[in-house]
């Protein structure tokens, strides 16, 4: 009795070893696919999001995680993920919806609905998996120099519309070139808040998007395009007009991953956990201030955040 039993166990054991060896060989054959390459766009908050994902996977999985953070512009990183040169990066829902083919014009104010529709687009058009988004929102906003808001008392975009429609078109506005043309930018804004006609008399200057904060801070312009979690808003003490009629698309970052990567590696849950923890804009602004203004290393800031939140 004992003989055959041992033999069977040994056989099972042997086949088990064999299977494992076989799997290892297959995995080995895929070369680079043994590791997960985390990428990001080049600006600070995008790099921060990249390192949050990178550090999280590094600590919570046994895979080799590659650092491809700061890879390039939005279009380049997207292409890299699509072609599986890298495995994932954080893409903002508003950007996914409005700037990546099929480039939708429709404005969706509800973050959840926007995410779901962008997710379906990514899946159907590109075969990519869009994981859970963080709920903090880094969207476009209209910033104002405090001297101007003190003088006019305007705090909201509908207040601005009223002010402009009453004939007060004597103000200087600085916008980035993209924002000036896009339907989810200035042309859509004046249309949504109904001051299209009066807006034609407003002086608009096109400048580099990163310079608007300094220009507003130096009171060289009254209003300008800003990104809501940019640390320069705090640095230059700018006011931000409230988007009280929900015109701007929500921009929630979410990991965009290649489908094959999701099938091969169990990385979904750790990445979603990071997204779930990022709920407060104030907190993200603080992290951005540390990176951009206090010049701390993005990777260090990401690690500390994850440690403080008990994620690693």
Partner 1 sequence: MASYIEFTFDHSNELVELLIEHIELVLQTLVFALPLGILLGVFIAYYQPAAVTVLWGAGVAMTIPSLALFGLLIPILGIGNPPVIVALVLYAQLPIIRNTYIGLTSVDQSIIEAGRGVGMTKWQRLYKLQIPIALPVMIAGIRNAIVILIGVATVGAYVGAGGLGFYIFTGIYQANVEMVVVTTIVVSLLALVFDYGFKSIEQILQLRNGEEIPLTWGAKLLTRALP
List the beta bridge partners of residue 257. Answer: 88, 129
Q: Which is nearer to partner 1, 200 or 219 (CB)?
A: 219
Applying CB under 8 A, does 111 fall inside the site for partner 1? no
Q: Residue 220 contacts by C-beta under 8 Å, 6 or more apart in sequence?
A: 172, 174
Q: Contacting partner 1 (CB under 8 A), which of 201, 218, 246, 297?
A: 218
Beta-carbon count within 10 A of 8 CB: 10
Q: How far is CA 207 from CA 141, 215, 259, in A?
A: 16, 9, 39
DSSP letter string over 168-179?
A: ----EEEE-HHH
Which x/- pattern, by CB under 8 A, does the window 42-61 give for partner 1?
Answer: --------------------
Q: Which is nearer to partner 1, 42 or 206 (CB)?
A: 206
Q: Contacting partner 1 (CB under 8 A), which of 198, 211, 240, 312?
A: 211
What is the C-alpha separation between 58 and 305, in angstroms, rounded? 15
Q: CB under 8 A: which stretch of 21-29, 131-139, 170-178, 268-276 binds partner 1?
A: 170-178
Q: Which residue has the tokens 């320069």?
A: 232
Q: CB under 8 A: which stretch of 17-25, 78-86, 199-207, 276-284 binds partner 1?
A: 199-207
The CB-of-154 to partner 1 minimum distance in angstroms stands at 22
CB of 261 closer than 8 Å to CB of 87: yes
Q: Which is nearer to partner 1, 7 or 103 (CB)?
A: 103
Q: CB under 8 A: which stretch of 135-143, 191-199, 204-212, 248-256 binds partner 1?
A: 204-212
What is the C-alpha separation between 82 and 164, in angstroms, rounded? 45
- Intra-chain end-to-end CA distance of the chain, in Å: 51
Q: Which is nearer to partner 1, 204 or 262 (CB)?
A: 204
R_g of the chain computed on alpha carbons: 24
Q: CB under 8 A: which stretch of 86-94, 210-218, 242-250, 300-308 binds partner 1?
A: 210-218
Applying CB under 8 A, does 183 fall inside the site for partner 1? no
For partner 1, the binding residues in 51-110 under the rule CB under 8 A are 75
Q: Which residue has the tokens 């970052």?
A: 253
The CB-of-287 to partner 1 minimum distance in angstroms stands at 24
Q: Residue 218 contacts by C-beta under 8 Å, 6 or more apart in sequence?
A: none
- Among 100, 52, 54, smallest CA distance to 76 is for 100
Q: Contacting partner 1 (CB under 8 A), which of 61, 214, 234, 235?
A: 214
Footprint on this chain of partner 1 (rule: CB under 8 A) = 75, 174, 176-178, 180-181, 205-208, 211, 214-215, 218, 220-221
């Amino acid at each position: 009795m004992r003989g055959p039993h041992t033999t069977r166990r040994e056989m099972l054991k042997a086949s088990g070893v064999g299977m494992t060896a076989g799997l290892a060989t297959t995995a080995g054959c895929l070369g680079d696919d043994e590791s997960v390459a985390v990428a990001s766009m080049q600006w600070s908050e995008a790099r921060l999001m990249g390192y949050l994902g990178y550090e999280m996977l590094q600590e919570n999985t046994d895979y080799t995680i590659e650092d491809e953070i700061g890879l390039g512009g939005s279009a380049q990183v997207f292409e890299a993920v699509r072609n599986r040169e890298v495995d994932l990066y954080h893409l903002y829902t508003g950007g996914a919806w409005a700037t990546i083919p099929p480039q939708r014009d429709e404005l969706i104010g509800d973050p959840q609905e926007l995410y779901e529709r962008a997710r379906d687009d990514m899946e159907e058009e590109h075969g990519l998996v869009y994981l859970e988004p963080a709920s903090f929102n880094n969207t476009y906003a209209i910033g104002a120099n405090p001297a101007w808001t003190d003088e006019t008392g305007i705090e909201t975009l509908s207040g601005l519309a009223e002010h402009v429609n009453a004939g007060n078109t004597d103000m200087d506005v600085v916008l980035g070139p993209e924002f000036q043309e896009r339907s989810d930018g200035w042309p859509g804004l004046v249309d949504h808040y109904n001051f299209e006609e009066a807006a034609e008399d407003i002086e608009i200057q096109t400048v580099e998007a990163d310079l608007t904060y300094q220009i507003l801070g130096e009171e060289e312009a009254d209003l300008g395009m800003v990104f809501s979690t940019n640390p320069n808003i705090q640095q230059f003490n700018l006011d931000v007009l409230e988007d009280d009629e929900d015109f701007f698309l929500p921009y929630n970052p979410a990991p965009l991953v290649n489908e094959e990567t999701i099938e091969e590696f169990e990385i979904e849950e750790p990445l979603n956990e990071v997204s779930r923890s990022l709920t407060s804009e104030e907190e993200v602004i603080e992290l951005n201030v540390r990176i951009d203004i206090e010049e701390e290393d993005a990777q260090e800031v990401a690690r500390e955040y994850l440690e403080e939140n008990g994620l690693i």
